[in-house]
Amino acid sequence: MDSIRIKGGKPLFGRIEISGAKNAALPLMVASLLTDETVTLSNLPHVADISTLTTLLCQHGAKAVMNGQTAAEGCSGGRALALTADRITNTEAPYDIVRKMRAGALVLGPLLAREGRARVSLPGGCAIGTRPMNLHVGGLEQMGATFDIEGGYMNAVAPNGLHGAEIRFETVSVGATENLLMAASLARGVTILENAAKEPEISDLIDLLRKMGAEIEGDGTDRLVIIGKDRLQGAQHRVMPDRIETGTYAIAAVITGGRLELTNTRAELIRSVLDILVEAGADVEETADGLIIWRTSPTIHGVDIMTLPYPGYPTDMQAQMMALMCICDGAAMITETIFENRFMHVPELARLGANINVHGHSALVRGVGKLVGAPVMATDLRASVSLVLAGLAAEGETIINRVYHLDRGYERLEEKLAACGANIERIAGN
């Protein structure tokens, strides 16, 4: 397994181009199952989850052409991907793929809507929480599907197709909103989703579904009205910028006391993160295609944060902000309200000298003068990148193990950081 070695303490200066958003690209790719025509996506990030999902879609019968190469030719990622599911040849999404990448379970709605049946592995829990599927299942049941859970699989049928329904989510769920949006676009009649997620990735999916012929109202609100269609068509779409990658590199600028220009992105996507960074001692200038961020204060001020559904502070930026708060001149209370177990980075940050106490859903971070490098290990994507950020600020050498987590969601991370002056390299493992 590869690891990453960082010699910290160097301020970062330069420009980083932000990739397309993994968490937008995955549902957009799944939407290709809703039509027998070609859906072409551009600005796709070159990360492992995209390749894993391509494998799953091909298994359902889709043909994938990436940058002119078919997936079968061994192309592992790419910036443009054409997916054609002219026939669905298999409605099973196996455990082997879905356990590795939960977004695989998003095929449930589209397969049911198009084929009237689907057998999809339950994803299981993961390092950040139990992450059940009840909202996906409950919504599809209201639309006429029946489920039988057996052997770790959701066996679903809708012999007469799916029909519209009024569905109220008891919790805001990005994945359940996406799954039901896709299913409802190809269902009979009108579906209303109440308490729907409002994340920008949902709006990106709505944009693509509209290009495919779906009629959807309420974009950007928590009430979505979908008028189902008998058939959807092919479309072309550019994946939105990755707001979490944008926020991560914004913190890299601030934590190292440097100045970075982030391009191919939009400041408005991470307003809640930028507001905290300004309070903590940074300044931001918005540009035509992104933003410039730099540290203004010699020390970082402690700022409390609480994760919330969009437009609140994103849970996917909690670990990175915690890394920054580790070196603040006071204290910061970080409260996680989305996932029940998303503090796995705390003991690893402590190995670098951080002073953090977890009390239930909150972590009290007492700032320490400096972090000192050490070998660390991470349990999920955002925890891993928080250790990279901490390593960039720490004195001496930090080795981050289990880099495969980072490869799932950050494209050419070491290269992008090294180009701005970071002393960072990948060490190939066995």
Q: Looking at the annotation, which residues are catalytic?
A: 126
Torsion of CA 421, 334, 352, 396, to 10 degrees: 20
Closest CB to ligand EPZ among 35 and 386? 386
- CB–CB of 209/184 below 8 Å? no
Closest CB to ligand EPZ among 135 and 334? 135
Closest CB to ligand EPZ among 63 and 361? 361
In terms of Cβ atoms closer than 10 Å to its own Cβ (0-12, 13-18, 19+), residue 233 is middle
Q: Shortest Cβ distance from residue 188 to ligand EPZ (Å)?
A: 24
Q: Shortest Cβ distance from residue 366 to ligand EPZ (Å)?
A: 26
Closest CB to ligand EPZ among 135 and 420? 135
Neighbours of 80 (CB within 10 A): 15
Residues at the contact surface with ligand EPZ, assessed by CB under 6 A: 23, 26, 102-103, 129, 131-136, 171, 173-176, 315-316, 338-339, 381-382, 409
Secondary structure (H, E, C), the chain? CCEEEEECCCCCEEEEECCECHHHHHHHHHHHHHCCCEEEEECCCCCHHHHHHHHHHHHCCCEEEECCEEHHHCCCCCCEEEEECCCCCCCEECHHHHCCCHHHHHHHHHHHHHHCEEEEECCCCECCECCCCHHHHHHHHHCCCEEEEECCEEEEECCCCCECCEEECCCCCHHHHHHHHHHHHCCECEEEEECCCCCHHHHHHHHHHHHCCCEEECCCCCEEEEECCCCCCCEEEECCECHHHHHHHHHHHHHHCCEEEEECCCHHHHHHHHHHHHHHCEEEEEECCEEEEEECCCCECCCCEEECCCCCECHHHHHHHHHHHCCECCEEEEECCCCCCCCCCHHHHHHCCCEEEEECCEEEEECCCCCECCEEECCCHHHHHHHHHHHHHCECEEEEECCHHHHCCCCCHHHHHHCCCCEEEEECCC
Closest CB to ligand EPZ among 63 and 100? 100
Q: Shortest Cβ distance from residue 160 to ligand EPZ (Å)?
A: 24
Residue nearest to ligand EPZ (CB): 175
Residue 272 CA to its chain's centroid (Å): 17
Q: Shortest Cβ distance from residue 339 to ligand EPZ (Å)?
A: 5
Closest CB to ligand EPZ among 308 and 372? 308
The pair of three-digit structure tokens given for residue 332, joined into one six-digit string:
């910061």
Q: Shortest Cβ distance from residue 18 to ligand EPZ (Å)?
A: 15
Q: Shortest Cβ distance from residue 149 to ligand EPZ (Å)?
A: 13
Q: Shortest Cβ distance from residue 288 to ligand EPZ (Å)?
A: 27
Rounded CA-CA distance 3/160 in Å is: 51
Q: Shortest Cβ distance from residue 55 to ligand EPZ (Å)?
A: 16
Closest CB to ligand EPZ among 367 and 409? 409
